[in-house]
Structure 1
Amino acid sequence: MERRKVDILCVQETRWKGSKARSIGAGFKLFYYGVDSKRNGVGVVLKEEFVRNVLEVKRVSDRVMSLKLEIEGVMLNVVSGYAPQVGCELEEKERFWSELDEVMESIPTGERVVIGADFNGHVGEGNRGDEEVMGKFGVKERNLEGQMVVDFAKRMYMGVVDTYFQKREEHRVTYKSGGRRTQVDYILCRRGNLKEITVE
């Protein structure tokens, strides 16, 4: 975060049990929620100077949480999400999307929203038919979980920010192993705010 000059960062799979906020050094504070020290857990890391701007913290589950901040008179909602992996039961996946829908529906329309999440899916390269919610610079082919991301973006009038920017592969790929490469972490933003979001 220091090297890339990031002020707010969503983190997933923290595996920390509890519902707390704690300083993690170097001028950053972590707000997190988890129910099991072996799986899941979500959090949002803030630069210390923004901690006093936090108005509300909603810890919905060990897969969804949000922070509301007021920065220079602007209400900003930061949502951290961690979708179930490909092999998980459909019921667990539906519960995650239902929780995320509820969080989004509780945020007034005039407020800004950014979701930083590990959606465990691929929205894929290209955007034919989905130009209103994504760019064409995704990775791999779309899978079922990626389609759920696109459907959510359409429902919530959001854009999959990462796909609008042509970046070097090492900046697009979020996981590499055994010659495989994937992009499963995405940033979503209300489409009216897209021009105001900068993505490294």
Structure 2
Amino acid sequence: MYLTTTAIGTVELQGAGGNWATVGQRSRGGRRVTRQREKRKGKSVGLRIGTLNVGTMTGKGRELADMMERRKVDILCVQETRWKGSKARSIGAGFKLFYYGVDSKRNGVGVVLKEEFVRNVLEVKRVSDRVMSLKLEIEGVMLNVVSGYAPQVGCELEEKERFWCELDEVMESIPTGDRVVIGADFNGHVGEGNTGDEEVMGKFGVKERNLEGQMVVDFAKRMDMAVVNTYFQKREEHRVTYKSGGRRTQVDYILCRRGNLKEISDCKVVVGESVARQHRMVVCRMTLMVCKKKRSKIEKKTKWWKLKKEECCEEFRQKLRQALGGQVVLPDDWETTAEVIRETGRKVLGLSSGRRKDDKGDLVVE
């Protein structure tokens, strides 16, 4: 149990009666405690990941980069880019857009990365003008970022099913141990409340669920994902992702694996930006935990190499003769003799520390 004050860093009490206490150095607001806890947990990498339907990327590259820089967004999934081709293009301020599209008048998806993460890209999968993914390795953590743009309500059912099949295939191709974050305009309302769907969503959606929203929930159940937006209680203004005329709805979502939901500490809609005319950016704060590998216990070994030195070798011979009672011929019981030799070696030559010279605690993912 820790008590923190503005004057004293840490007071640690043992037992209910507080039989003893250690007082730490002076600190502000318990920062020393936080640093100690973070040290025990290992290294962490904080990311701000978002999604936004931009309407079109034409003429918006620099504006989008400035917004990401201002809002400290590291990775952004974008939809409806309306750019034809499959390229990676710098959009300013060090940000790079990986995109794919087949028609300059509709659809198109992409992922924008902050400059420091561009070199971490291992793989780019451009599935269609509605689905694409990037695999990044960040401090040993494999992170897959998927950008999706579902067909609108009025589209044919066949087109909607094709989209969900493509998304399923992408998910099935990702190893189970990898992190996954999906940023998408699903054009559906998952609705407020989560009765019957508690395992994949929280209570904080918007309005009523529709058929397209049910498809989102079904996908989350199928792939063991969580609809991140709905887990954080915010004012409606910070939950509504789409505004047009009198309509205020939630159609843009961030999803992650259910098992990694604990790594997301916040998620909300960013208001006050004008890059997109109708949609608003959704941003989540994610912390990837990377810890040092536990060192395996190494058995201490007798320093037999010391026998190369004449003085050590002579001392070992004398001590061994004494241990064997001065006998010249070894006893018939080899096990007993071997143990006497080992014990003499330990006493005369000493033992190693049991540490590796090159053991630096390789980094692994929790």
Superposed pair shares fold, TM > 0.5: yes
Q: Which runs of 5+ in 2 are unaligned?
A: 1-67, 264-362
1:172 and 1:4 map into 2 onto residues whose CA distance is 17
TM-aligned CA distance change 1:199 to 1:3, over 3 Å? farther
Q: SS of 1:162's equivalent?
A: helix
1:123 and 1:62 map into 2 onto residues whose CA distance is 24
RMSD: 3.1
1:169 and 1:3 map into 2 onto residues whose CA distance is 23
1:68 and 1:10 map into 2 onto residues whose CA distance is 13
Contact 1:119 1:186 in 2 (8 A): yes
1:46 and 1:171 map into 2 onto residues whose CA distance is 24
Q: SS of 2:237's equivalent?
A: helix
Q: Which TM-score applies when normalising by structure 1?
A: 0.97
Say which of 79, 82, 102 aligns to 1:15.
82
Consecutive aligned runs of 4 or more in structure 1 exceeding 3 Å deviation? 197-200
Q: Which runs of 5+ in 1 are unaligned?
A: none
Q: Deviations over 1:147-183 (max 9, x none)?
A: 0000000000000000001122222111112211011
Of stretches 164-173 and 141-150 in structure 1, the one that deviates more from structure 2 is: 164-173
Q: Deviations over 1:88-126 (max 9, x none)?
A: 000000000000000000000000000000000000000
Contact 1:84 1:93 in 2 (8 A): yes
TM-aligned CA distance change 1:105 to 1:30, over 3 Å? same
Q: Deviations over 1:54-78 (max 9, x none)?
A: 0000000000000000000000000
Of stretches 46-55 and 167-176 in structure 1, the one that deviates more from structure 2 is: 167-176
Of stretches 10-19 and 170-179 in structure 1, the one that deviates more from structure 2 is: 170-179
Deviation at 1:199, TM superposition (A): 22
TM-aligned CA distance change 1:12 to 1:34, over 3 Å? same
Q: SS of 1:149's equivalent?
A: helix
Residue 265 of structure 2 corresponds to residue 198 of structure 1: no
Contact 1:162 1:199 in 2 (8 A): no
1:139 and 1:198 map into 2 onto residues whose CA distance is 39
1:167 and 1:44 map into 2 onto residues whose CA distance is 26
2:218 and 2:125 map into 1 onto residues whose CA distance is 24
TM-aligned CA distance change 1:25 to 1:199, over 3 Å? farther
2:144 and 2:199 map into 1 onto residues whose CA distance is 22
TM-aligned CA distance change 1:190 to 1:133, over 3 Å? same
Structure with higher strand content: 1
1:87 and 1:47 map into 2 onto residues whose CA distance is 35
Deviation at 1:3, TM superposition (A): 2.0
Q: SS of 2:200's equivalent?
A: coil
2:92 and 2:69 map into 1 onto residues whose CA distance is 11
Deviation at 1:198, TM superposition (A): 22
1:150 and 1:113 map into 2 onto residues whose CA distance is 17
Structure with higher helix content: 2
Identity of aligned residues (%): 96
2:108 and 2:172 map into 1 onto residues whose CA distance is 22
Contact 2:140 2:365 in 1 (8 A): no
> Residue in 2 aligned with 1:93?
160
TM-aligned CA distance change 1:81 to 1:24, over 3 Å? same
TM-aligned CA distance change 1:185 to 1:15, over 3 Å? same
1:58 and 1:171 map into 2 onto residues whose CA distance is 32
> Residue in 2 aligned with 1:140?
207
TM-aligned CA distance change 1:155 to 1:10, over 3 Å? same
